[in-house]
Structure 1
Amino acid sequence: MLFLSCNLNNERRTVAKADTLRYRYQHYILSSKEVVDNDGKKDTTYFKAIFPEFEQKEINDLIKRQFTANRQPDTQYNSIEQEAKAFIENYEDFVKMDEYPRAWYSEMHAKVLQNKPSFLSLSLELSDYTGGAHGNYNTLFYNYDPLKVDTIGLEKIIPVEKQQSLTKIAEVIFRKQEGLSTEQALDESYFFEDNRFHLNNNFTLTPKGLLFLYNVYEIKPYAAGITELMIPYEQIDSLMTEEGKHIRTQLRQNITTN
């Protein structure tokens, strides 16, 4: 097995304000010792991860726990390294029984999207192949309060009692974006049950608005890819909590990362 852990050459550090978080990207890869030959092309299975390493340990621990929990919800791993080892071991057990073995891969690329004094957001891009016609991929958003070292759920931005109003606004935007009339059914070409539009929990805050992302197979077939839905702040200002408005203000200020 091959293990490599190093800093990327193009490190990205926060430089705008002292109260934003400092970090650098780390690169980790673990490869299988099993080499397969497909039509004369030799290949091997690997697990690859690129992720930010924060100077603040509490933030690091919180983020990494979520990464491993969401990638494999049925299995609890204590670290990315532990998950990588399990992936390689599963492959090496499987390949011994596979008549036509193919190499697998699993990649994760975590990116810092926003790094503000009271708001940190990341995207986790995942892709993998474990046999079959094609691989799979998805993107997950993570939102944090760095001051409280805690996650930020939708209820902290839009109160639960106002989320039905948010959904109604979002549906109007979605139908316009998809070229649908107000009467057109959503359970014919989309995977909305009982013809009812719904928002998922995969969201983040941007300078422009509240961004939701539906991954493949979530509301459309695989071939249709992902679907992003941006809800401008101007349309939901009256629904937002004070915490949500505070984050919005910070996002619109010129506090940047390089």
Structure 2
Amino acid sequence: MTLVKLTAVALLAMTLGACQSLFAPNYRAPVEVKREAWEHVKPGCSERDCPLVNIDTVHFPTLPKLDALVERRLLQLTEDNQRGTAPTTLQQYEQQYLASAPARNSSYLQAKVREQHDGLVIVELSSYLDSGGAHGMPGRAFINYSRKQDKVLTLQDMLIPGQEDTFWKTVEESHRAWLISTGMDKDAEFVKTWPFKPSPHIALTYGAVVVKYEVYAIAPYSMGHVELKIPYPRLNGVIRPELFPGRG
């Protein structure tokens, strides 16, 4: 092949590469997020303590799969207070809840983007059901959505195969550090009553892997939702390397 032909082939390859780069998704840029919020009381109620529903959620115009998933996960947080047929939309949940909720009852649901980095969208979901007692019941959940894979990452997707036991042992070490930081390590009754356990609520945030707990899971209600944060260097060989911030 002549030098001219070689040069032409090289230029063509460079042009194709540039075109691919031009049209490839930019995972460093955050996706568009739109907020939607409303609060409604029970229709026709004029009392002081009317039942109410408060919704504060987010939408992703360019990620319809994630958009639908956020609504579905919020509805899952209401399963303990559903009355009748399970609703399929937040609007339907609101109608069903307000139709039967007594005075001094309220339901709060929130979805917010906690972080976006390296092609990941981390959504934190919150719920709070007030049944008129001394305090309401809160709930939490995370969605780790990979834009590159167009799916939600499970723990198995995050970990190198065979490393789940090591992962939870590392989280347990963070739990021991949390006990020390709160002074609870010196309370033998507390340590016995609230032992370490795994949690399904895991988030691949930029600064650390976060493991969050429901109230009453590893601590009393008054201590809220305990968060354990494990720095990525402690998870070398445990978390898939492409999920480390900056490596994707």
TM tier relative to shorter chain? 0.7 to 0.9
Q: Partners in 1 of 2:211 and 2:228 — Cα distance?
A: 5
Which position in structure 2 is the counterpart of 1:188?
Answer: 192
Which position in structure 2 is the counterpart of 1:150?
Answer: 151
> What secondary structure does 1:113 align onto?
strand
More relative contact order, 1 or 2 (CA 8 Å, 6+ apart):
1
Instruction: Letter of the 1:58 partner, please give it.
Output: K
The equivalences for 1:133-172 within 5 A come to 133-172=134-173
Which position in structure 2 is the counterpart of 1:82?
Answer: 92
Question: What's the CA shift string for 1:8-31, capped at 9, x where partnerless?
Answer: xxxxxxxx9785311211112232
Distance 1:130 1:144, change over 3 A: same
- 2:160·2:238 contact (CA, 8 Å) conserved in 1? yes
Which position in structure 2 is the counterpart of 1:216?
Answer: 215
Which position in structure 2 is the counterpart of 1:244?
Answer: 243
Which position in structure 1 is the counterpart of 2:115?
Answer: 114
Which structure: larger Rg? Answer: 2
TM normalised by structure 2 equals 0.76
Q: CA deviation at 1:155?
A: 1.3
Question: What's the CA shift string for 1:145-199, capped at 9, x where partnerless?
Answer: 12333111111111352011111122122112212669x7886230x3xxxx332
Instruction: Letter of the 1:55 partner, please give it.
Output: P
Q: Partners in 2 of 1:224 and 1:20 — Cα distance?
A: 33
Q: CA deviation at 1:49?
A: 0.7
Which position in structure 2 is the counterpart of 1:23?
Answer: 33
Distance 1:201 1:159, change over 3 A: farther
Give the count of matched residue pairs.
215
Q: Percent identity between the aligned chains?
A: 18
Structure 2's unaligned 5+ residue stretches are: 1-25
- 1:158·1:244 contact (CA, 8 Å) conserved in 2? no
Q: Partners in 1 of 2:112 and 2:69 — Cα distance?
A: 15
Question: What's the CA shift string for 1:102-145, capped at 9, x where partnerless?
Answer: 32111112111122452111111211212322211132211111
Higher mean displacement: 146-155 or 199-208: 146-155
> What secondary structure does 1:43 align onto?
coil
TM normalised by structure 1 equals 0.73
- 1:156·1:244 contact (CA, 8 Å) conserved in 2? no
Which position in structure 1 is the counterpart of 2:49?
Answer: 43
Of the three residues 72, 88, 95, the one matched with 2:79 is 72
Q: Partners in 1 of 2:70 and 2:177 — Cα distance?
A: 35
- 1:113·1:123 contact (CA, 8 Å) conserved in 2? yes
- 2:122·2:205 contact (CA, 8 Å) conserved in 1? no
